[in-house]
């Protein structure tokens, strides 16, 4: 049964978390799909309001994560993310007004683009989407300890990618599909 408080609680969660859910969707599927993903995530949230824990963000990102996986074919998502990654680098390079840090940021985004999808998610959940390691572990469905280990490896690969383009394709764990759509 619905209650006036439900609407109020939902609206509070919506205002607090929409930007993060949208940002996560952009980083996982590209901007073209992000709004659909965010909208449908919150529709699920409204429907399952009683299931949302007091700290809603990890729960919401988990819903968004599953939705992206179920909803979109791998190729569609990869095409979206490939476009997105390119746009990050290009857009950052174009921001001439903050010149000193631009090159550094563009290099970072370029290195990130050369990582595998999983590594990118592990890193950005913590660095961009404001989650603690524990919360991020909940989103991807593993233990906090496992997340630490995987994050550590992802970070190392990011540092390697920053140091220079990989000499061989196998040093960067990119899936076959990803390579296909990066060309």
Partner 1 sequence: MSKHRDTMQALAKARPSRLEPDGPLPDPAALTAYPREVARMARAPRPGRRLALVGGGVAVVAAVATVLSLRTGVPAPNATASSSVSATTAPTVVPTTAAGLLLVAAERYDAEPVRDGRYWVVRFQHGEQAKPTIVDEQWLALRDGDPSVAYFKVGSRDWRARPMEGHSAANNFLLAGQTRPPAELAALPSDPDRLKARLLSWYSDEVSNEGRDQYLFYCGVAITLNLPVPAPVRAAAYRMLAKLPGITALGRVTDALGRDGMAVGYSRRGDSGNVSQQRLIVDPATGYALAQESWTKGERGRYTAVLKSQWSDESLPDAADLK
- CB of residue 103 to partner 1, shortest distance in Å: 11
Quick one: which segment of 8-16, 52-60, 142-150, 170-178 binds partner 1 (CB under 8 A)? 8-16
Secondary structure of residue 172 in the 3-state scheme? coil
Q: What is the DSSP letter of 22?
A: H
Tell me which residues in 83-112 interact with partner 1 (CB under 8 A): 83-84, 87-88, 91-92, 101, 104-106, 108-109, 112
- CB of residue 141 to partner 1, shortest distance in Å: 22
CA–centroid distance for 147 within its chain: 15
Angle, helices 144-163 vs 133-140, to 10°: value is 100
Name which of 90, 16, 14 is nearest 49 in CA terms.
Answer: 14
CA–centroid distance for 28 within its chain: 5
Binding mask 56-75 for partner 1 (x = CB under 8 A): --------------------
- CB of residue 148 to partner 1, shortest distance in Å: 11
Name which of 60, 77, 63, 46 is nearest 18 in CA terms.
Answer: 60
75: left (phi over 0), alpha (psi -120 to 50) or beta: alpha
Residues that bind partner 1 (CB under 8 A): 2, 4, 6-7, 10-11, 14-15, 18-19, 22-23, 26-27, 30-32, 34-36, 38-40, 42-43, 46-47, 79-80, 83-84, 87-88, 91-92, 101, 104-106, 108-109, 112, 123-124, 126-128, 152, 155, 158-159, 162
């Amino acid at each position: 049964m619905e209650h006036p408080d439900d609407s109020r609680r939902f609206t509070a969660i919506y205002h607090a978390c929409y930007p993060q859910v949208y940002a996560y969707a952009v980083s996982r599927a590209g901007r073209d799909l992000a709004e659909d993903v965010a909208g449908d995530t919150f529709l699920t949230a409204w429907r399952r309001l009683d299931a949302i824990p007091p700290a809603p963000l990890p729960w919401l990102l988990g819903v968004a994560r599953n939705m992206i996986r179920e909803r979109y074919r791998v190729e569609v998502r990869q095409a979206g993310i490939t476009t997105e990654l390119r746009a990050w680098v290009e857009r950052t390079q174009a921001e001439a007004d903050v010149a000193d840090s631009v090159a550094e940021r563009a290099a970072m985004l370029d290195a990130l683009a050369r990582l595998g999808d999983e590594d990118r998610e592990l890193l950005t959940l913590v660095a961009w989407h404001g989650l603690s390691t524990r919360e991020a572990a909940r989103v991807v469905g593993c233990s906090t300890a496992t997340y630490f280990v995987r994050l550590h490896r992802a970070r190392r690969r990011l540092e390697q990618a920053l140091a220079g383009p990989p000499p061989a394709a196998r040093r960067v764990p990119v899936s076959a599909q990803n390579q296909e759509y990066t060309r």
